[in-house]
Amino acid sequence: MDEKFIKIFNAYRIDLFRLIYSYTLNINDSKDILQETFMQLYKNILFLPDDELLIKKWLIRVSINKSKNFNKCFWKRKIINYEEDNKFNSFSNLKTNIEIFDILNFLEKKYRIPIYLYYFEGYNISEIASILKISESAIKMRMKRAKDLLKKEMEKV
């Protein structure tokens, strides 16, 4: 069991961290949610199928749910985000992608998440619709609007 957990952890921790960060926009909160996600995996690992694709989808769903719950909590609404300049201390290999996340950060979550899942995780429209539990046409429209917003933002620079 521990070997399976370690294998899954090493395979998906960075992808899940990126996804969670796209919800929270805070390094420390993202690390906490990532830890909670893997604690949930550890508790349920015996009940999950051996198919890695299904495990990854399950982890993404858990990460999204935990991120949404975190954003709804009282403390999240009442605190001000003070990030250290030294970002991604234990995730140093993510430093090269921080510029991409900075560009995407100005998008609303409803636009940012489908873009992330499509371009960074490689999911297709129907899979994203299934993961986010909204229609495919809504995903397509959100991605179109996100691309339009990104285009306008890039033209300003």
Q: How many Cβ atoms are within 10 Å of 67's Cβ, its own excluded?
A: 25
97-141: pLDDT as tens digits: 555 666 677 788 888 889 888 887 888 999 999 989 999 999 999
Cα separation, 100 vs 97, whole angstroms = 5
Give the C-alpha separation, 125 to 130, whole Å. Answer: 9
The verdict on pTM exceeding 0.85 is no
Q: For residue 47, give the CATH number of its domain.
A: 1.10.1740.10
Q: Which domain holds residue 16?
A: 1-79
Summarised one tens digit per residue, pLDDT across range 25-72 is 888 899 999 999 999 999 999 888 888 889 999 999 999 999 988 877
Assess whether 100 and 72 both reside in one domain: no
Residues 6 or more apart in contact with residue 140 via CB below 8 angstroms: 125
In the listed set 20, 55, 79, which residue is the last one of a domain according to the structure?
Answer: 79
Angle between helices 2-24 and 52-72 (to 10 degrees): 40
Distance CA 76, CA 15 (A): 23
State how many domains the chain has.
2
